[in-house]
Amino acid sequence: MLNLGHSDLIRKAISKQLSKVWHTLEIPSETRVEFMKELRKSFPSNMRSYKTMFGISGADACETAMNLAHSVSGLKASTVAFEGAYHGVHGGIISATAGRVYKTPVISSGMNIIRAPYPYEMWYDYDTNDTLSFLEKAVNDPEAGYEKPDSLIVEPVQGEGGYIVPPEGFLRALREFCDKNDMIMIIDEVQTGLGRTGKMWGFEWDSIQPDIVCVSKSIGGGIPLSLVYYREDYDQKLPTPFHLGTYRGNALALAAGTAVLREIPKYLDRVNSDGGNLQKRFGQIGSPLIGDVRGKGFMIGVELVENKKPLSKTKMLSIKHTMLGKGLLMHTCGHFGNVFRFMGSLNIPAEYLETGSRILEESLKAS
Ligand SMILES: Cc1ncc(COP(=O)(O)O)c(C=O)c1O
């Protein structure tokens, strides 16, 4: 699940930091300066002057990003989020997460969201233009019944929603829409970031410049760390204090993060070539259960169907157990829980890829 797995390199970085200091609160330190240098370098050159706000989890980063947008706009506004989106389950951000399963009547859902369609051609007949038409109505028709949004949050490839890759140009179209309508564009790179899709950041596939980027998961190499990377001019508009937390920017996590940021670029070519080959191989399995194989880099979804409907959860579980019995753990995701996802670490040994692919193939053929 983490992009560098149980890497010795990260263990060494953490051990080295542990021999110095492991908790500094948010004061400047060499560890932090080193991390910031690597972080800035990892973004396209037009984003190197952005500011950073640290957090602990992906949900924390996404919630902070949305609060940041509202503080910058100065409005009590809504945010556009998408069908199938997953941005975490904290008290506020859970409003932006789509799945009913994550929400119960007793969990507060305090943020104001406009839910927009995300192109998902397997089941729904809409594309980028349909999303744009919906947004045009929701944002600019005062009688449409939506509170005016000041921001939009989107995953470059949907993760928990089912490893859904939007059409090329989707993010670019959203960027243009945000520019036209004075909206802040937030990209959630919690899952897609740090090489997972074959580029350092998923938004780079569409060559856009987001206003705010949410980062977490792999950045701390297994030590809790998240951050919001945002336009420098936003800083002047934030109240003080804006975002606080004892463990933000923890020294151990930052040391691990520096190692992660230095290591990931070495794997990008591999992720693109092996990811492409894997996708082709999964597509050739030839089981009638396979409805779609899609993805980018090392983020590949295999969506299973039966009688033109999503494969039942019981059958998914049974296949999962079969694979587990043979030594392969594959998580599921998707609107209907019928997508097996490949999310191996970017440095996974080639023989594991081979063995895993074989087990998936055998298990699907036997089901
Ligand atoms: C795209 C995305 N955003 C946010 C989150 C929430 O991250 P966390 O579980 O660290 O709160 C996740 C978690 O899977 C995610 O995939």
Q: Do 210 and 305 share a structural domain?
A: no
Whole-number Å distance between alpha carbons of 155 and 81: 9
Tokens at 217, concatenated:
């998961």
Residue 106: what pLDDT? 53
Q: Do 187 and 111 share a structural domain?
A: yes
Q: Please check whether residue 3 lies inside any domain of the structure.
A: no
Contact by Cβ (8 Å): 128, 166? yes
Q: Do 252 and 283 share a structural domain?
A: no
The closest-lying atom of ligand 1 relative to the alpha carbon of residue 158 is: 1
Q: Do 231 and 202 share a structural domain?
A: yes
Question: Residue 88: CB within 6 Å of ligand 1?
Answer: yes
Residue 241: what pLDDT? 79
Phi, psi dihedrals of residue 336, rounded to the nearest 5°:
-115, 15
Q: Do 167 and 99 share a structural domain?
A: yes
Residue 93: what pLDDT? 76
Q: Do 288 and 358 share a structural domain?
A: yes
Residue length of the chain: 367
Whole-number Å distance between alpha carbons of 334 and 319: 16
Q: From first to last of its 367 residues, what are the pLDDT tens digits of the chain?
A: 799 999 999 999 999 999 999 988 878 899 999 999 999 999 999 999 999 999 999 999 999 999 999 999 998 889 999 999 999 987 777 788 888 887 765 555 678 999 999 999 999 999 999 999 999 999 999 999 999 999 999 999 999 999 999 999 999 999 999 999 999 999 999 999 999 999 999 999 999 999 999 999 999 999 999 999 999 999 999 888 788 888 899 999 999 999 999 999 999 999 999 999 999 999 999 999 999 999 999 999 999 999 999 999 999 999 999 999 999 999 999 999 999 999 999 999 999 999 999 999 999 999 8
CATH of the domain at 360: 3.90.1150.10
- Residues with Cβ within 8 Å of residue 108, at least 6 apart in sequence: 91, 92, 94
- 86, 153, 339, 343: residue to mutate for ligand 1 pocket, most atoms within 8 A of CB: 86
Q: Please check whether residue 90 lies inside any domain of the structure.
A: yes
Give the H/E segment covering residue 310.
strand 309-310
Residue 109: what pLDDT? 63
The closest-lying atom of ligand 1 relative to the alpha carbon of residue 159 is: 16
What residue's CA is closest to ligand 1, atom 3?
A: 87
Q: Do 358 and 244 share a structural domain?
A: no
Contact by Cβ (8 Å): 69, 184? yes
Question: Residue 216: CB within 6 Å of ligand 1?
Answer: yes
Q: What is the DSSP letter of 279?
A: H
Q: Do 288 and 252 share a structural domain?
A: no
Q: Do 36 and 133 share a structural domain?
A: yes
Question: Residue 190: CB within 6 Å of ligand 1?
Answer: yes
Question: Residue 160: CB within 6 Å of ligand 1?
Answer: yes
Last residue of a domain, one of 266, 282, 308: 266
- Residues with Cβ within 8 Å of residue 208, at least 6 apart in sequence: 171, 172, 175, 185
Domains in the chain: how many in total? 2
CATH of the domain at 36: 3.40.640.10
Residue 341: what pLDDT? 98
Whole-number Å distance between alpha carbons of 193 and 200: 6
Q: State in Å: Cα 256 to ligand 1 middle.
A: 19
Contact by Cβ (8 Å): 51, 211? no
- Residues with Cβ within 8 Å of residue 273, at least 6 apart in sequence: none
Q: Do 226 and 169 share a structural domain?
A: yes
Q: State in Å: Cα 215 to ligand 1 middle.
A: 9
Q: Please check whether residue 352 lies inside any domain of the structure.
A: yes
What residue's CA is closest to ligand 1, atom 16?
A: 191
Q: State in Å: Cα 97 to ligand 1 middle.
A: 10
Q: Please check whether residue 2 lies inside any domain of the structure.
A: no
Q: State in Å: Cα 190 to ligand 1 middle.
A: 6
Q: Please check whether residue 280 lies inside any domain of the structure.
A: yes
Residue 36: what pLDDT? 97
Contact by Cβ (8 Å): 43, 187? no
What angle in degrees, to the nearest 10, is found between the helix axes of 251-263 and 30-42?
30
> Regarding beta strands 299-306 and 290-296, do their DSSP bridges make them parallel or antiparallel, or are they unpaired?
antiparallel
Question: Residue 59: CB within 6 Å of ligand 1?
Answer: yes
The range of the structural domain enclosing residue 106 comes to 8-266
Last residue of a domain, one of 205, 240, 266: 266
Q: Do 156 and 73 share a structural domain?
A: yes
Q: Across the beta sheet with 184-188, what order do the strands follow?
A: 51-55, 226-230, 212-215, 184-188, 149-154, 78-82, 113-116
Question: Residue 55: CB within 6 Å of ligand 1?
Answer: no
Terminal alpha carbon distance of the chain:
26
Residue with tokens 């297994």: 222
Last residue of a domain, one of 251, 266, 281: 266
Q: Do 220 and 233 share a structural domain?
A: yes
Q: State in Å: Cα 214 to ligand 1 middle.
A: 10
Q: Please check whether residue 1 lies inside any domain of the structure.
A: no
Question: Residue 93: CB within 6 Å of ligand 1?
Answer: no
